[in-house]
Amino acid sequence: MDYVNLGRSGLKVSRLCLGTMNFGPVTSEEDSFTIMDRAHELGINFFDTANVYGWKQGEGITEKILGNWFAKGGGRREKTVVATKLYGSMGDWPNDNLLSALNIRRACDASLKRMRTDYIDIYQAHHVDRSTPFDEFWEAMEVLRQQGKILYVGSSNFAGWHIAKAQETAARRGTFGLVSEQSHYNLLTREVELEVLPACADYGLGVIPWSPLAGGLLGGVLRKTDKGRSATENMVKELDKHRDKIERYEKFCDELGEEPAYVALAWLLTRPAVTAPIIGPRTVEQLDGTLRTLEVTLDEQALARLDEIFPGHRTAPEDYAW
């Protein structure tokens, strides 16, 4: 396993990040434990979760699964760089969501309790809160850092100008600022290349792409359909929209002799500022297979071919101005 610094920080994380969103709703607690243990065996030390995962309001099901796993001991917590998120509703009262100082304090304490740990490595804003000033956001995060409850702060789903505003506010306050940005990024969804990636590179944020396989479209969906595996209604709709690109992509992967999922992940690892795409295996077998990603080499010719199939963006404003 390769390890890199997360953004400009001194924190070392694996080049693949284990996403835990399936833990609880899709994958049982017992199987989740097995996947996390196997991740450590493979050298993956970077786990991502969120207080809303589990999708039963206020229950924090996935964080509880992580907490039960940490409680098994054996250095599990010490070996894990755990990133969790806040923003979504955890209750029915007005301050049970978003990024007010009140919710940041309460949400952090609740996540610590569920995960049965006394600190969070990376505490991420799951979305920008346009109603809360960045001064308030940073003051609350500074208190948590001073208390030793969090080590780093990250963002998710921020626009480039949100990142700039957050970092300039942090700099004015004399604090470290954001260390990472978690963005929707894959071969099919490349809008972040316009301004988010350049902002992250300039301000020293590590990018953590979510949905790196575009909900399965880049994971060999045509092959699975040929084998009679069912697809969701939304998947069928998206496949119809992008069928020409997906057909060309899977044909190219055949020419490379690689699985589409591993090519899509390997491509992300070549992108500027990208630290680690989030993988969401439902089984140990899927997790083991994903390690092939780190062995896939894409030369300039292969990267150009992928750009031809899935046109990307140049940095703004060059993308749309002379």
Active site residues per annotation: 53
Pairing of strands 3-5, 12-14: antiparallel
Instruction: Tell me the angle at which helices 233-256 and 260-268 cross, rounded to the nearest 10 degrees.
Output: 80
Structure tokens at 317: 């404003």
DSSP 270: T
DSSP string, 182-200: EEE-SSS--GGGTTHHHHH
Burial class (CB in 10 A: 0-12, 13-18, 19+), 145: middle
Structure tokens at 213: 């396989």
**Strand blocks (E) in the chain:** 3-5, 12-14, 17-19, 46-48, 81-86, 120-125, 150-156, 178-184, 206-210, 278-279
Beta bridge partners of 124: 85, 154
d(CA 168, CA 146): 21
Task: Classify 179 as helix, strand or coil.
Answer: strand
